[in-house]
Amino acid sequence: MGKIKALSFDMYRTLLDTRDFHEQACSEILQREGVSSVDPDLFHSRWDEIYDDVHLEMGEHEFMRERDVATESLRRLFQELGIDGDPKAGTDIWLVKYEKADLYPEVEEVLHILAAKYPMVIVSNVDNNDTGYAMVRDKNLPLLAIITSESFRSYKPHGRLFKEALSVLKCPPEEVLHIGDSQRSDVMGAKRAGMLAAWLNRRSQKPRSDIPLPDYEITSLWELLDLEL
């Protein structure tokens, strides 16, 4: 890897395998509210969009914990669909499932191989008391830091978390590759910060026309070892 001097990673759905937890939670939320007329897949995709909207609406120095972002986005979704539901209870259904998240099978081996050449950090929109965050800390991955939204009271795609990553890595942005699954938070956020971006597209999603193209697109972290950077 030539011009790249350091790496940063998203956490959920990049390093942490959440499997189908969000989809399962959406089905259970609709069942709890007694709603059978809404397609759970459409409910899931729309909740994702509104969740991102809440992040993007906040200014650089505005902040809500991720639990509160989830609750507010679910409240808006219920309102949009005409559902008289309890968004806090729905958020609880979702977050409990994430207690079972674990690393993707390749993560530890790939990161230890990469660590021989590159300093690395995690940059994540996550609360500090999140169970997935605690699990990642306990894994002793070869990381310089885990930079969380709650610690710095800012969210990707806003630039503050990426600036913190660059400060820890001690590299200019054009020498850092950020790897993540979210086109909005990770690809757009990294590109705005002047970094290179690798979109981890595990689920064969289509590129969004309103998001800058990533510098690389991969389907597994293994592919990082084969990229000529």
Domain ranges of the chain: 6-17+102-225, 21-100
The CA distance from 157 to 191, in Å, is 9
Return the CATH superfamily for domain 6-17+102-225: HAD superfamily/HAD-like (3.40.50.1000)
Report the alpha-carbon distance of residue 177 to residue 14 in Å, rounded: 14
pLDDT tens readout for residues 168-205: 999 999 999 999 999 999 999 999 999 999 999 998 99
pLDDT score at 18: 87
Instruction: Read off the pTM.
Output: 0.88
- Is 104's pLDDT higher than 50? yes
Q: Are 167 and 184 in contact (CB under 8 A)?
A: no
